[in-house]
Amino acid sequence: MARITPGQAYGFFTDTSVCIGCKACEVACKEWNELPGNEPVFGDGYDNTGSLDAQNWRHVQFIDNVPDETSGTGQGKAWLMMSDVCKHCQHASCMEVCPTGAIIRTEFDSVFIQPDVCNGCRNCIAACPYDVIAQDEHKGVAQKCTLCYDRLQGDMEPACAKACPTESIQFGPVEELQRAARQRVSDLHDQGVTEARLYGEDDSIYGGLNAFFLLMDEPEAYKLPNEQNAVLPRRNNVPGYLGTLGTAVLAVLGGLIALRRRREPTPATSSGTTPPDPEAGDE
């Protein structure tokens, strides 16, 4: 790759159709960024990381749709694996809500939290639509993927992309990645893999994601907001604004209904010791 040059937009193209769920990205990220990681917890056998948080800036999701048959097609669509990461949104809500100016857009067009400016207010954590950010319990600051800002400054690609053995995680100038991604999705369609689709490579998702994806199912299957929902309330974004307003109204109504229901106690909630359902999504 040509030299990594300030002034140009860089990002990730994560092609989930070739992800093998090896988690080299998770480990490489922790090693480079000196993240000690969380206490070991048994999740479901394959995903024991659970979610993106202050210690996990890459997280491989496993979505098991394997049919109960003796023969199946893999092709990346039966057991979905997706290395999730901060999307480095063009319309970055975290940046919008940060009161101290700790969150900046860097010379590589990435979204970066300056740890020495962050005051730990948690606004960004609530604002991020992807649940990417979390507070480091020891340092008291918000943390997430930096697109390996320090490596980019030294002309090195991010650790996760460097470690990925199948080129599921590709790093480069966003425009080049977009071209490669469109080619890849077209090749897959030619091969009859019609499930393949891009997510965030154009401006339909939060104005465009610098870290975008090739997915093998609907975005919702990966707990990603779809095109209709992935817009920020902005004055210069009238449809989005109205859409969000509508969503907000519905949410308030929903909340009121939920409150009414909560007044009628059920055995499950009154006991207060219901174990978490292992099948349920990890919020």
Partner 1 sequence: MTNHWRDIRHADLILVNGANPAEAHPVGFRWLMRAKLDRGAKIIHADPRFTRTSAVADTHLRIRTGTDVAYFGGLINYVLENDLYHKEYVEFATNAGLVIKDNYQFQDGMFNGFDEATGAYDPTAWTYETDDEGNAEVDIDHPRSVLNLMREHYSRYTPEMVERITGIPQGQFLEVAKLVGETGRPEKVMTIVYAVGLTHHTTGVQLIRSGAVLQLLLGNMGRPGGGMNAERGHANIQGNTDHAISWDILPGYLRIPAPGQRNLDDYVKQSASKKLRPNAVNFFGENYRKFMVSLLKSWYGDAATKDNEFAFDRLPKPAANASWISIFDQALQGRMEGLILSGMTATSIGPDSNQVLEALSRLKWLCVMDPFRTTSSEFWNAPGMNPAKVQTEVFMLPATHWIEKDGSFTNSGRWVQWKDQVLPPEGEARHDHWILAELFLRVRELYEAQGGRYPDPVRELTMPYKDPRKPQLDEIAREINGSSLRTGKRLETFAALADDGTTAAGDWIYTGHYPESGNLAKRREGVQDPEKNDPTGMGFYPNWAWSWPANRRVLYNRASADPQGRPWDPKRPGISWDAAARAWVGDVPDYPPDAAPGADAPLPFIMTGEGLGRLFSNGVADGPFPEHYEPIESPVRNPLHPEVSATPAAFLYDKKAGRPNRFGTSADYPYVATSYRLTEHEHYVTQNVEHLVQLQPEAFVEVPTELAREKGIETGDRVRVSSKRGKLEVRAVVTRRLGPLQVDGKKIYQIGIPIHWGFVGINTGQHWLANALTPFVGDASSRTPEFKAFLVDIEKM
Q: Which residues of 213-229 are buried (b: 16+ CB within 10 A; e: fewer)?
A: bbbbbebeebbbeeeee
* Contact present, 65 and 215 (Cβ < 8 Å): no
Alpha-carbon dihedral angle through residues 206, 210, 214, 216, given to the nearest 10 degrees: -40
Q: Name the residue nearer to partner 1 (CB basis): 30 or 105.
A: 30
- Number of residues interacting with partner 1: please give it, by CB under 8 A: 45
* Residue in the structure block whose two tokens are 């359902």: 277
Q: Name the residue nearer to partner 1 (CB basis): 55 or 123.
A: 55
Among residues 5, 31, 139, 203, which is the contact residue for partner 1, using CB under 8 A? Answer: 31
Among residues 2, 34, 40, 238, which is the contact residue for partner 1, using CB under 8 A? Answer: 40
Neighbours of 20 (CB within 10 A): 13
- Which region among 36-44, 114-122, 201-209, 220-228 touches partner 1 (by CB under 8 A)? 36-44
Q: Which residues pair with 169 in a beta bridge?
A: 14
Taken as a whole, the chain contains a residue count of 283
Residue 13 CA to residue 167 CA, distance in Å, equals 9
Using CB under 8 A as the binding rule, the residues of this chain from 193 to 222 that contact partner 1 are none
Q: Name the residue nearer to partner 1 (CB basis): 25 or 147.
A: 25
CB 268, min distance to partner 1, A: 17
Vertex 84: Cα angle to 20 and 204 (nearest 5):
120
Distance of CA 262 to the CA centre of its chain: 32
Binding of partner 1 at residue 44 (CB under 8 A)?
A: yes
Six token digits for residue 266: 């059920």
Among residues 5, 6, 64, 249, which is the contact residue for partner 1, using CB under 8 A? Answer: 64
- Which region among 119-127, 160-168, 196-204, 266-274 touches partner 1 (by CB under 8 A)? 160-168
Binding of partner 1 at residue 42 (CB under 8 A)?
A: yes
Binding of partner 1 at residue 26 (CB under 8 A)?
A: yes
Q: Name the residue nearer to partner 1 (CB basis): 168 or 178.
A: 168
Residue 125 CA to residue 110 CA, distance in Å, equals 17
Binding of partner 1 at residue 155 (CB under 8 A)?
A: no
CB 172, min distance to partner 1, A: 17
Residue 219 CA to residue 161 CA, distance in Å, equals 22
Using CB under 8 A as the binding rule, the residues of this chain from 162 to 191 that contact partner 1 are 165-167, 191
Interface positions with partner 1 (CB under 8 A):
17-24, 26-27, 30-31, 36-42, 44-46, 48-49, 64, 66-76, 78-79, 81, 165-167, 191, 278-279
